[in-house]
Structure 1
Amino acid sequence: MDLGLKGKSVLVTAASKGLGKASALEFAREGAKVTIASRNLEELKRAAGEIELATGQKVTVVQMDVTREEDIERAVKTAAEAGNGLDVLVTNAGGPPGGTFDDFADEAWMGAFELNLLSAIRLIRTSLPYMRAKGGGRIVTITSTSIKQPIQGLILSNTIRAGVNALTKSLSVELAKDQILVNTVAPGRIATDRVAELDQAKAEASGKSVDEVKAEMSGQIPLGRYGLPEEFGRAVAFLGSFANTYITGQALLVDGGMVKAL
């Protein structure tokens, strides 16, 4: 299938590793002009080099902290200049710290809001003029399966990512007139550094080994294993593509069947 991404301008945030990097790789495979952004410039350059080696496509890098509005404006402008406008935005950010309700004061809640929800709001707001100028676009927010089924010990993420999902659904209606399709992709247990950290924390809290924790978690997944980053990236690339012409306002769970909610 031709995803209609050749020559399209794509910005993926938090893309120096993990889900963001995997998504950027798939867009580059399809011939898109990809810009990747994250806080760590060295990791960002390393990721760009790996993507370029794998795909033969030049990748633009821009250092960005998603909690800084001026960084977001610079990143979007850089992507637009590198790609002759902006066609696709993938909003992504690292997760807030784990813990329960009693663990967090206002500062932590505000930090989670700025990291995961306000960053998406700002990225989308800054990108819209470029997409409207081109007569349409695609926006994909990366959230979590917690938008359907809260994850124990991740109350900050559960709450804030639900807000991102609500934003996505609302914008799918508001932006339909502009031919901008907006969806969210929600990862389950995908084998990334973030999930490895969560497994380690759970192992320490329970007195079990990391291997035991992974075995228990895999047992809750009908497919019996953690997902691969590239499996997730392919889902993002399709929803963010121009082969997708009629799917908007949806939440796609990439979780191996883990979440039981209807």
Structure 2
Amino acid sequence: MQGLKNKNVIVCAGSTGIGKGVISTLARYGVNITTFSRSKEKIDMLRAEIREETGVTINALPADLSRKDDLIRVVESAHTQYGKIDFLVMNYGDPRVDPFMELTESDWDYNIDMMLKSTIRMIDMCMVDMVASNFGRIIFITSMTTKNPLQNFAISNTLRSGIVALGKTLSIELGKYNINVNSISQGYFYTQRLKNILEKTSSSTGKAIEDVESQLKKEIPLGRFGKPEEIGNLVAFLCSELSSYITGANIPIDGGTIKSI
């Protein structure tokens, strides 16, 4: 894909699931990748798997998305390895899924740090390179809850919608520097998070997990769950020269689940 080879990206929370799918795809296009995860074990496994799959060695380190000092260390590491940052992909950990009345102030504090504040901090640091280069791509991986809030997803509904609004604002303010800012609203993708939700629903309803999964697939016009690499393909497109006139968008990738225009 045009304009990707030898560009430099930071992909947040990249050790598993959607983040891993994005990294695997970008590595195949020759992008230089920095990523991180709280688990050193998982990040070491990711580095080995990407090297085996693609022949590419990524810059992967343990760091916590909710900790400012860790994010500073990640950006410094990316500069040491590759010199500058061209793309930023904000992927996130999993916010708690429970009724609003069961959430604590600590739940909100942690997720505000992990999702909203991390986004602000990473943009503050990464856009310096992008402004200096008069080029950049910032992508937020959010959720279809930004278009259709779901029961028991109060944290996700609230914070991801705020991130989409921030993205729209940044697209207006950073356009003069040739920096494109877009959001991706993902639907049901077959990751460990979805497996956990299916298991929790099965436990609370008494239905077999196979029945819960089948019922959920009926809500998806394409009749299946997405694959993380399919989000990777969209991220690659949004980073490429082919998307040069797309900014400020919140793009659904959900197999048609959200029916609103």
Shorter-chain TM-score bucket reads over 0.9
Q: Shift of the alpha carbon at 1:70? A: 0.8
Matched, 1:145 2:119: no
Deviates more, 1:99-108 or 1:15-24: 99-108
- The answer to whether the 8 A contact 1:36-1:48 is kept is no
Match runs of 1:104-115 below 5 Å: 104-115=103-114
Gap regions ≥5 residues in structure 1: none
Matched, 1:23 2:22: yes
Match runs of 1:30-179 below 5 Å: 30-179=29-178
The DSSP-based 3-state class of the residue aligned with 1:243 is helix
Q: 1:241 and 1:83 mapped to 2: Cα distance?
A: 19
Identity of aligned residues (%): 37
What residue identity is the alignment partner of 2:75?
V
- The answer to whether the 8 A contact 1:146-1:158 is kept is yes
Partner of 1:184: 183
The DSSP-based 3-state class of the residue aligned with 2:43 is helix
The DSSP-based 3-state class of the residue aligned with 2:221 is coil
TM-score by length of 1: 0.96
Q: 1:201 and 1:255 mapped to 2: Cα distance?
A: 21
Q: Shift of the alpha carbon at 1:133? A: 2.1
The DSSP-based 3-state class of the residue aligned with 1:175 is helix
Q: Shift of the alpha carbon at 1:105? A: 2.8
- The answer to whether the 8 A contact 1:145-1:186 is kept is yes
Partner of 1:245: 244
CA deviation string 1:77-100 (max 9, x = no partner): 211221221100001111211111
- The answer to whether the 8 A contact 1:80-1:130 is kept is no
Deviates more, 1:21-30 or 1:74-83: 74-83
Q: 1:211 and 1:190 mapped to 2: Cα distance?
A: 16
Q: 1:173 and 1:48 mapped to 2: Cα distance?
A: 36
Q: Shift of the alpha carbon at 1:243? A: 2.8
Moved over 2 A (4+): 240-243
CA deviation string 1:183-220 (max 9, x = no partner): 01121100001111111111111111211111010000
Match runs of 1:4-23 below 5 Å: 4-23=3-22
Partner of 2:193: 194
The DSSP-based 3-state class of the residue aligned with 1:149 is coil
Match runs of 1:219-234 below 5 Å: 219-234=218-233
The DSSP-based 3-state class of the residue aligned with 2:241 is coil
Q: Shift of the alpha carbon at 1:125? A: 0.9
- The answer to whether the 8 A contact 1:25-1:51 is kept is yes
Q: 1:80 and 1:132 mapped to 2: Cα distance?
A: 15
CA deviation string 1:56-83 (max 9, x = no partner): 2221112110111111111112112212
Q: 2:95 and 2:45 mapped to 1: Cα distance?
A: 24
Q: 2:217 and 2:2 mapped to 1: Cα distance?
A: 32
TM-score by length of 2: 0.97
Gap regions ≥5 residues in structure 2: none
Q: 2:136 and 2:172 mapped to 1: Cα distance?
A: 14
Match runs of 1:197-216 below 5 Å: 197-216=196-215
